[in-house]
Amino acid sequence: MAEVVKMPKMSDTMTEGVLAKWHKKVGDKIKAGDVLAEVETDKATMDFESYQEGTLLFIGVPEGQAVPVDAVIAVLGNEGEDYKTALDAAGPDASESATPPPAPQAEEHKEEEKPAEAAPAEEAAPAAEATPQPEAAPAPAEAPKAEAAPVDLASIPATVIRMPALSDTMTEGVINKWNFKVGDKIKSDDSLADVETDKATMEVVGYEDGTLLYIGPKEGEAAPVHGIIAIIGKEGTDITPLLKQEGIAAASPTTEQAPAPESKSEEPAIAVPTEEAAPAAEAAPANEAPVETSEETATEGGRVKASPLARRIAKEKGIDLNSLKGSAEGGRIVKKDLEGTAPSAQPVAASAAPQPVAAPTPVAAPAPAPESPKAPAPVAAKAPEAPKPAPSPAPTPAPAAKAPEPAKPAPAAVAPTQYSGVDKYTEKPVSQMRKVIAKRLAESLFTAPHFYVTMSIDMDQAIATRTKVNESSSIKISFNDFVVKACAIALKQHPNINSSWLGDKIRYNESVNIGIAVAVDEGLLVPVVRNADEKSLGALSAQVKDFAARAKAKKLQPSDWEGSTFTISNLGMFGVEEFTAIINPPDACILAVGGIQQVPVVKNGAIVPGNVMKVTLSCDHRVVDGATGAAFLQAVKALLEDPIRLMV
């Protein structure tokens, strides 16, 4: 008896799942424990195993489509069994989504038999095709309808590559660079492209072997998460049904391959005198070709084991991976194996090849050259005549001719026109990082009721302690490290600050994970120091410095910026005295740290010079009250004014 397969609930917060990939197709035999598909939940992409046995009779959800929990996604049963009964029993939604595969095929066979009889007549009299076509017209008109049905898509030897969700806040990604072009051979561990997310630029791996048949978004263009970006499959495969299913015009891949034949047709159009240049032009691609073929033989024949990053570096530097030995497990080549390796000489030969092509053009130049000296010759004859009749005063009028110098004010007259009533500006597209910053911080500021608490802290003792520590330690401690450590200890004492607003409940976090705001060229990143209360000042300093370096080099991973419970933003190094920061959701608070200012302070009844640092705590009033925020700042102040307590 046929049984329906429903979308399972794979996490406590899951409401729907996306069919990332089907591992089986209609007609395959399924055993209990076989992986039917990969399902992307709100947490991760997981394998969906079958708990039934039988033949896969029906697939109701194409790859990339989201399905609510408990919705029918497939039907298993005996081979040849009618699965419509099971769909009807599952409900009207399941039966409406059903697209029976055998029915359209049967209609196609019947329709093909009728025009088959008229085929000889059409071949015998091609001129009379206009009359029988009214009968044959409906057949091709119905054929596209059969192709549009997502029935035989699983049988196409090609895999759709979609934009992955590389971070929890990512909604779309920008193709920063394609590492391959249409027609290239792809291995499962090759890095297809570099994708710019809202956090960093990361590699996208195809996880499939085959030929790159289609590229969707071009470099610099954005694609939504789960949107199609490429297709990999068997060379020569017709991918039109896959593109039609996504609503994409099938002409886009052909336009990328079109320039190749055009470039060849331009070579014979060159005039006969450039016969020498033609072989030179042919020699240039001949020199370039071995560079590509050598890479193909290395990946196809010998199959060099190398990481995607190592392959990209080798390709950019022109290094032959066959000549290297990998230091990783199984002889795999990694980045460090390429350090200090000189590039191969093949790219040099390729770059030298274009020079002979330019040689014919100067050959044609000498012909007009003799004509040019004839023109200056009479001028030179007139030159001796001029000095004879006129003495040296003759050149004096020349300075008078220089009188046009007053014309130089003309540009001055033009200059005001550039500024009168003309507004100049430059517009740049918004980066993915800036989009997310704008969206999340706007939601935070206009959703969470902010209030602010500011306090001044005497940093004299902190300055003295830092000086002594840095004199005796190889790790240099910064004032920001003191602030991080003080906040970590104070958060343990005031758990209400270390909390999150979740709508219908408040989460009090036991782990102290402090996010450190790091400014980069594109915006702001917040890597997270986990369990900061359990780490020493030296360990905190080393980790914060490492995060800052990797953030600016765009080397942070998603795990580095997820899971903060409290955030610190420090602008003191820019000379800022004090400022207020916007809460980084889902945190309940963020601490804005200003610079240390030398100001007069009162100590023991006397006015003396002091070093004061102002800090401002931004609080979500839904979670934290004013007294709670003030008590937290008092704890931070006490720790920083007596920094010996931070060493314990």
Residue 539 near residue 473, CB atoms below 8 Å: no
Residue 282 near residue 264, CB atoms below 8 Å: no
CA distances from 318 to 291, 292, 341 (A): 8, 10, 10
Q: Which residues pair with 600 in a beta bridge?
A: 609
Question: Residue 525 is encoded by which pair of tokens?
Answer: 């990143």
Single out the residue of 34, 30, 21, 39 nearest to residue 3, CA to CA: 30
Active site (annotated) includes residue 460 = no
DSSP 613: E
Annotated catalytic residue, options 23, 88, 621, 642: 621
Active site (annotated) includes residue 625 = yes
What element of type H or E holds 16? strand 16-22
What element of type H or E holds 354? helix 354-358
Annotated catalytic residue, options 88, 546, 625, 642: 625
Q: 186 Cβ partners below 8 Å, 6+ apart?
A: 180, 192, 206, 208, 209, 210, 211, 212, 232
Q: 321 Cβ partners below 8 Å, 6+ apart?
A: 295, 298, 304, 306, 310, 311, 314, 333
Single out the residue of 383, 405, 406 nearest to residue 395, CA to CA: 383
Residue 479 near residue 573, CB atoms below 8 Å: no
Residue 481 near residue 541, CB atoms below 8 Å: yes
Residue 354 near residue 347, CB atoms below 8 Å: no
Question: Residue 238 is encoded by which pair of tokens?
Answer: 């017709």
Task: List, by residue number, the catalytic residues.
Answer: 621, 625
